[in-house]
Structure 1
């Protein structure tokens, strides 16, 4: 018996895509997903929410030249009257009414007004609806929102085309969007864009992000003021009177469930009765910002599941997309797949997660899809490929070249070595080498790129100096490539592992009053809330001292170099010491101190040698970073590498000390994480 044909039903204010397995209802012409009926549930989305607050695309934007990572939502017509006093529109009023007033202030003069016509909402609201494909095998529909100068200040200067696809005999649907900024339009910043799905809280209460990151979750009600206590980080709350007593005393924070792009391929929720899974599958991260290691939000209490495309999380302003006037830009985000599954028998509901992972592999193998109708999404035969072999040459490690074993190699827009981690306008294409360093990057969009890589175990970034031009159907063999990591001389000593993460260092147990039970005895214990406070408890008077040859970095090197809390409003800088012995010193030579940082947040790292009061210091980074990885439970943010010259005359034969001072101390969240530190002797010729 053949599967039912796909049908599209068009009504005055909504459309329905139906393939006999599920029915998806979308508002018209707005383009918001208002209902998903499947597997015995009449609507998987939160029916208590307004229809425009269930499944939607949204963005955050700001005017060109605006600093930071924040912005405003889109300005739309209001849906009900609000009261405004003294011309000031407050976010508190907006929240009570179910709107969002972030960043909105209207100077309307004195007095009280009782009618207002515009309000900020996160979602992208379409203004026209079109059928792109409609046949028995496939339906593809489009909701477009054009821009012109009359919308200046209200909407981000973009033409946006949101699309939804349903295929025959498919237990799910796809969505993608095309964003376009024309050359003549005003510039602007785009810190974030994504798809949001808000599921029924009475049904979806078990969340899965990974094999070892899944659990029964608190309810959104538990985050209401009477049931929780706000913590120092706005997104984190302590559950004090949860609906279900098992969650009492736990911390809930959406950032505890973040994932790196390379690992964020499938996540979602399970309903037990009936046993149904809701999964967001991203088969490729070519359209996501920041490369393989960029961390994104996934699913969190709501129940909410996200498809993040562009965000400044764990990076700061470096990953805010900034377009200037006169700069044309176009990008396709997606498609991503919303997959729904159910049990066929009395199996454990967790089988739904195993099935979702299998479906994810099917989607990955099908990429790039051959069914999206837009010419902006090239098929496989319209793309190209690049292959080669990467080796590492470090004569102080081996006389022979070393194969870059299982290393990420990728093509990204042209830039400096390592620029891929700050890139957000174009596309990136990554793969991993085999054990001998051979690689093949396939299905690359037409364009000009550089080839990048980094090799765990070695510091620095590789970039091939040649511009690689991809044309349709090309197959470019780059042959043998050699990465020469930064190195001047032999290693005198080292701390940590050069892998762009602080995970190997000492991560303390959390304060018992700030527990997420998922991460007790978990390899990702750094995801617990408030770990930065443990430093002052472990080092109440004197700062960390690490002795080469005696100390163990897994026990004696705190994972984050943070401030010390003195009282509720006072913090002070901290200075860590590295003590080491030299039998002899080349007084005329130059030693090299390599400082690889895993993250930095509003920090200044100063280096002094054998004199803790030297002014000026031997080296300073200046104020760097807005990664926020420490407070958002990420063990890394952006990678930074500094090479510091240390004159031999500053060292002595015998005992020496390097002083590392993090000078910024206005609050608890300024700090850095080290990836790796190494001192090199002057070169041997």
Structure 2
């Protein structure tokens, strides 16, 4: 019914193209069409917004939505769309006009200026339920917006006809007649979640065959309202399979690659502002605009109920208990006394950085408050450290620089026998790992495989194990001191991700020392949703009792006993140490 209402408003809004003129030429405006429909815009663009959907997006005389759904806000997928009960101008400050659309769950704001190609947007929570997924999005004309741009891909979105020619094999994934696959998850990517990193993505194409180009972009200068840690990845553009709409997603609280992420939010929690930006379709134009937004953030014109400008800085140095600096460590500032992993945190605000070569780190523009500080290995010189660092009750005050000094991170303190892959919570350097996201890449990995320590290299080890079969690590142990027996050892298994339905028994010299199954590991969708580098990180230790290892040749086996297509283990690191 909402779509029919929007269509019936088309002629009315067309008649109002001169818009009941604002008080000054070019000034941003809000005009009510009736009690549940409005037009907002400036002299550059205007949008008709009904109870749920923003349709009829006019730009240079063209409707950029066309027969598509348009703009809306929803949570838990498309199950719960927000319904607007009112709209009002809440503030005018200089050139900025802040227009709020209210729903029971909260307020969606559009901030316009007379010459802004697009709008700043932000959402203020009032009564969102506990949720995993919360998003704003555009579904735009499929004949105009034919290409998608992410940090990994810049290419045509798959045409609807191509999707319809295939056989659906799982969630939004089709097997094509030529034996290849098409899936929306190939357009997923990691969000650049560290302050200063460029964060922009969009869809673009040609205006109705005129030759003129058009692009719709999201630019996020602020990163602290995103949930999760450094390895947060999301689906951000794709082709809608039911209609062909070009979809530009804005997953401001997303769960596409996580095992668990259900969060509650305080009243007044604000996501944004981010910039919805319209240009000539050029990524080379969107990039410098993103750079400028980064320079301007935190925005001087904005304020929220939790002290948007009440910010300070935090610095410190982390050294390992064995004397090494925590070189390149991932450092995360999040929930105080956390009861969730860093990736799963999402109720509040979050800050991410990396330590330098000396273990020094710094966070700027941190909201005032009490925080929990975490650090973990990101490969390199500390890629053999299995433990992580946590310090709670870290206070950041407005306009103050908090200096934590040097802090000690206790390592596992064991002597390494061998290691395959650096511990960085990613499948770095393994065969077939890394961008771009690509469906079914794990089927390239072997069912049976032998890695010989001292002869094989890291890129011989495949990024995922999925098929029934056995992966063997073959290695020699140096002679034990005269008269001594083999001491106990510890096998560390670090998984970059795990998708359920695949089980493995772990054996040392043909003696079972443990297993990995769906009953013991929380599942994430990494492997079956085109992930090739990370999902949700998991870490396990298995003891090899004294006498298990022997002088000379030894083996550790990962015996896959159950399989599910495109599911399995994504490896981070496997390491054997003397206990």
Above 0.5 in TM-score?
yes
| Structure 1: distance between partners of 2:213 and 2:351 | 36
Q: How does 1:42-61 map to 2 (within 5 A)?
A: 42-45=62-65, 47-49=66-68, 53-60=69-76
Instruction: Report the counterpart of residue 20 of structure 2 in structure 1.
Output: none
Pick from 349, 373, 378: which aligns with 1:451? 373
- What does the per-residue CA deviation read over 1:57-81, in whole Å, with 9 as the maximum and x for residues that have no partner? 1111xxxxxxxxxx8823xxxxxxx
Instruction: Report the counterpart of residue 475 of structure 2 in structure 1.
Output: 580
For structure 1, the residue ranges without an aligned partner over 5 or more in a row are: 61-70, 75-122, 147-158, 183-187, 241-247, 343-348, 509-522, 565-573
- Report the CA distance shift for 1:650/1:308 in structure 2 as closer, same or farther (over 3 A): same
| Structure 2: distance between partners of 1:426 and 1:266 | 22
Contact 1:593 1:645 in 2 (8 A): yes
- What does the per-residue CA deviation read over 1:214-264, in whole Å, with 9 as the maximum and x for residues that have no partner? 11232234323xx2222x332112445xxxxxxx76532111111112268
- Report the CA distance shift for 1:135/1:456 in structure 2 as closer, same or farther (over 3 A): closer
**What is the DSSP-based 3-state SS (H/G/I as helix, E as strand, rest coil) of the residue aligned with 2:520?**
strand
How many residues align structurally?
532
- What does the per-residue CA deviation read over 1:406-441, in whole Å, with 9 as the maximum and x for residues that have no partner? x43231002459821121222101233344433321
- Report the CA distance shift for 1:403/1:461 in structure 2 as closer, same or farther (over 3 A): closer
Deviation for aligned residue 1:177: 1.2
| Structure 1: distance between partners of 2:411 and 2:43 | 57
- Report the CA distance shift for 1:446/1:192 in structure 2 as closer, same or farther (over 3 A): same
**What is the DSSP-based 3-state SS (H/G/I as helix, E as strand, rest coil) of the residue aligned with 2:493?**
strand
Residue 334 of structure 1 pairs with residue 246 of structure 2: no
| Structure 1: distance between partners of 2:339 and 2:295 | 30
Pick from 113, 130, 155: which aligns with 1:167? 113
Residue 390 of structure 1 pairs with residue 311 of structure 2: no
Deviation for aligned residue 1:163: 1.6
| Structure 1: distance between partners of 2:529 and 2:345 | 21
Q: How does 1:216-615 map to 2 (within 5 A)?
A: 216-224=156-164, 227-230=165-168, 232-240=169-177, 251-262=181-192, 265-272=199-206, 273-301=211-239, 302-316=245-259, 318-321=260-263, 323=264, 331-342=269-280, 352-372=282-302, 375-376=304-305, 378-380=307-309, 382-393=310-321, 395=322, 400-402=323-325, 404-405=327-328, 407-415=329-337, 419-457=341-379, 458=383, 459-460=385-386, 462-489=388-415, 491-507=416-432, 524=435, 527-535=437-445, 538-539=446-447, 543-555=448-460, 557-564=461-468, 574-585=469-480, 587=485, 589-602=487-500, 603-612=502-511, 614=512
Q: How does 1:200-219 map to 2 (within 5 A)?
A: 200-210=141-151, 213-219=153-159
| Structure 2: distance between partners of 1:275 and 1:433 | 42
Contact 1:391 1:402 in 2 (8 A): yes
Deviation for aligned residue 1:41: 4.7
Instruction: Report the counterpart of residue 244 of structure 1 in structure 2.
Output: none
| Structure 2: distance between partners of 1:623 and 1:464 | 25
Contact 2:534 2:570 in 1 (8 A): yes
- Report the CA distance shift for 1:560/1:403 in structure 2 as closer, same or farther (over 3 A): closer
Instruction: Report the counterpart of residue 518 of structure 1 in structure 2.
Output: none
- Report the CA distance shift for 1:228/1:4 in structure 2 as closer, same or farther (over 3 A): same
- What does the per-residue CA deviation read over 1:311-344, in whole Å, with 9 as the maximum and x for residues that have no partner? 222112x2122x5xxx9665222222111112xx
Give the TM-score of the pair, scaled to structure 1.
0.72
Q: How does 1:123-142 map to 2 (within 5 A)?
A: 123-134=81-92, 137-142=95-100
Residue 36 of structure 1 pairs with residue 42 of structure 2: no
Instruction: Report the counterpart of residue 12 of structure 2 in structure 1.
Output: none
Deviation for aligned residue 1:580: 1.0
Deviation for aligned residue 1:145: 2.1
Contact 2:336 2:392 in 1 (8 A): no
Residue 73 of structure 1 pairs with residue 79 of structure 2: yes
Deviation for aligned residue 1:162: 1.6
Q: CA RMSD in A?
A: 2.8
**What is the DSSP-based 3-state SS (H/G/I as helix, E as strand, rest coil) of the residue aligned with 2:230?**
coil
| Structure 2: distance between partners of 1:223 and 1:377 | 45
Give the TM-score of the pair, scaled to structure 2.
0.84
Q: How does 1:664-675 map to 2 (within 5 A)?
A: 664-665=562-563, 667-675=564-572
| Structure 2: distance between partners of 1:388 and 1:420 | 19
Contact 1:453 1:461 in 2 (8 A): no
Contact 1:618 1:646 in 2 (8 A): no
Instruction: Report the counterpart of residue 199 of structure 1 in structure 2.
Output: 140
| Structure 2: distance between partners of 1:466 and 1:576 | 40
- Report the CA distance shift for 1:329/1:463 in structure 2 as closer, same or farther (over 3 A): farther
Instruction: Report the counterpart of residue 8 of structure 1 in structure 2.
Output: 30
Deviation for aligned residue 1:307: 0.5
- What does the per-residue CA deviation read over 1:615-637, in whole Å, with 9 as the maximum and x for residues that have no partner? xx346575312112111121211
For structure 2, the residue ranges without an aligned partner over 5 or more in a row are: 1-23, 240-244
Choose 17-26 or 634-643, whichever is displaced more: 17-26
| Structure 2: distance between partners of 1:486 and 1:416 | 22
Contact 1:378 1:445 in 2 (8 A): yes
